[in-house]
Amino acid sequence: MTPEQWIRDELIQLWSDLDTAQRNAINGDWSIQCDGIGQRIKEASELVGPVDYADIGMTHLITGWFAAMNRRIGIVDPKLPTDEEIAGYIEMQHQSDRRLRGLA
């Protein structure tokens, strides 16, 4: 594993850590822990570029959480899916749900 690959893997984990820290924040929004994790995400992103949205849970993309968090921690140009890509994912989920209900 190269140092760049290690940083990318760490960056993906940091996004997961930020999600957990935000959910655990007393006010349900932001905490000192979120600040620290956000700073680490920003610094790692400066080294290897923003994390690819494909490595973030689709729920966070659809709800806008990922874009909002990028703005909040100062990442100017995150890689975000297009509206068409999100719509395609939602349609895939609906089709999958319909198939599962048909099998039940």
Which tens digits make up the pLDDT trace of 28-53? 888 999 999 999 999 999 999 888 88
Q: How confident is the model at residue 103 (pLDDT cuts 50, 70, 90)?
A: low
Rounded to whole angstroms, the Cα distance separating 30 from 23 reads 8
Is residue 67 over pLDDT 60?
yes
Residue 33: helix, strand or coil by DSSP? helix
Instruction: Find the mean pLDDT for residues 85-96.
Output: 82
| Contact by Cβ (8 Å): 55, 12 | yes
Among 30, 28, 29, 35, CA closest to 14 = 35
